[in-house]
């Protein structure tokens, strides 16, 4: 019998469903568990993966949120059966390294996307460098993001970026409300690409960078690449795995 660590979001809906699981199953520490059960929404699942990524434990998400793209449907009475038949998806993180206006060097990782967003009323002005070559001298925009396949249906899709099926070995580079060049709609990049963003006129046009839900203000340079040496394990019910969800998303009206 697998040992479980039940992690429950603070929301009322998560608490209610979480109590149903706690009444049926014993919860142990993350260190002792075989599987981490994350009860909440997509944001809580990403938070759980960030918090416990060093344990290398698989995470099975149970949806109590509005979308639940990375989650499974609640079914307290059949949890062990679902875990037994679950399919494993390994997500490789984006590594974000940045320099702030004070010269501080910071880093973080993201499983969905790294996004740069203007932090004032002034549009951002960003130079884009791909594998050491400047490909766009100046993008005037609200921001820009780079997304993994798993994250391509989140902020990336809302910004009119493409959906990337799992296993395509691609990353989506998507502008957010671009003003100049007006017709540039982004690019598909090999997942081996090294991307560097330089913030132009940073004092007049300050920019934040977010790696999933972490935020750093007043950056002047951001580098992003995917780390294939590390993988984060997600478990999905076999009739609703991540590959199938990404395919279905492309045919929604």
Angle at 44 between CA 192 and CA 253, to 5 degrees: 70
Q: What are phi and psi of 16, to 5 degrees?
A: -65, -50
Measure the CA–CA gap between 143 and 124, rounded to whole angstroms: 6
The model carries a pTM of 0.87
Measured CA to CA, the distance from residue 11 to residue 68 in angstroms comes to 14
Residues 6+ apart with CB under 8 A from 51: none
Q: Among 3.20.20.70, 2.60.200.30, 2.160.10.10, 3.40.50.1820, name the CATH number for the domain at 94-226.
A: 2.60.200.30
Spatial separation of the C-alpha atoms in residues 249 and 117, rounded to whole Å: 26
CA distance 222 to 94: 12
> In this predicted structure, what is the pLDDT of residue 65?
78
Which residue ranges make up each domain of the chain? 4-91+231-249, 94-226
Spell out the per-residue pLDDT of the chain, length 253, in tens. 899 999 999 999 999 999 999 999 999 999 999 999 999 998 899 899 989 989 999 999 999 977 778 899 999 999 999 999 999 989 999 999 999 999 999 999 999 999 999 999 999 999 999 999 999 999 999 999 999 998 998 999 999 999 998 878 999 999 999 999 988 999 999 999 999 999 999 999 999 999 998 999 999 999 999 999 989 999 999 877 777 777 777 787 7
Which DSSP letter does residue 21 get? Answer: H
**229 Cα distance to chain centroid:** 17
pLDDT for 245 equals 75
42 labelled catalytic:
yes
Q: Which of the following is catalytic: 10, 34, 42, 142? A: 42
pLDDT value of position 159: 95
Cα–Cα dist 158/33, whole Å: 36
What DSSP string describes 66-126?
S--TT-B---GGGHHHHHHHPEEEEEPPEEEEEEETT--EEEEEESSEEEEEE-SSSPEEE
The pair phi, psi for residue 85, each rounded to 5°, is -100, 0
Q: H helices then E strands: how many in the chain?
A: 5, 17
Check residue 250 and give its pLDDT.
Answer: 77
Contact 48, 19 (CB under 8 A): no
The first and second tokens of residue 225, run together, are: 């690449």
- State which fold the 4-91+231-249 domain adopts: Rossmann fold (3.40.50)
């Amino acid at each position: 019998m697998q040992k479980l660590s039940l992690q429950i979001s603070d929301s009322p809906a998560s608490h209610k469903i979480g109590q149903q699981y706690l009444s049926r199953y014993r919860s142990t520490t993350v260190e002792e568990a075989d599987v981490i059960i994350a009860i909440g929404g997509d944001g809580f699942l990403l938070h759980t993966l960030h918090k416990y990524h060093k344990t290398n434990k698989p995470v099975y998400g149970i949806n109590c949120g509005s979308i639940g793209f990375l989650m499974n449907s609640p079914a307290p009475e059949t949890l062990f059966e679902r875990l037994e038949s679950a399919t494993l998806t390994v997500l490789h993180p984006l590594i974000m390294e940045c320099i702030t206006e004070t010269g501080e060097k910071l880093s973080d990782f993201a499983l969905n996307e790294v996004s740069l967003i203007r932090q004032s009323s002034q549009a951002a002005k960003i130079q884009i460098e791909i594998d050491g070559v400047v490909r766009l001298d100046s993008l005037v925009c609200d921001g820009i993001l780079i997304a993994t396949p798993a994250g391509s249906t989140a902020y990336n899709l809302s910004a009119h970026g493409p959906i990337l099926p799992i296993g395509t070995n691609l990353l989506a580079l998507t502008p957010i409300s671009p003003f100049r060049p007006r017709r540039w709609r982004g690019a598909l990049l090999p997942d081996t690409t090294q991307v560097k963003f330089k913030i132009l006129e940073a004092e007049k046009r300050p920019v934040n960078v977010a790696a999933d839900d972490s935020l750093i203000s007043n950056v002047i340079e951001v580098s992003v690449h995917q780390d294939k040496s590390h993988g984060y394990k997600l478990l999905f019910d076999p009739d609703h795995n991540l590959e199938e969800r990404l395919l279905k998303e492309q045919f929604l009206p």
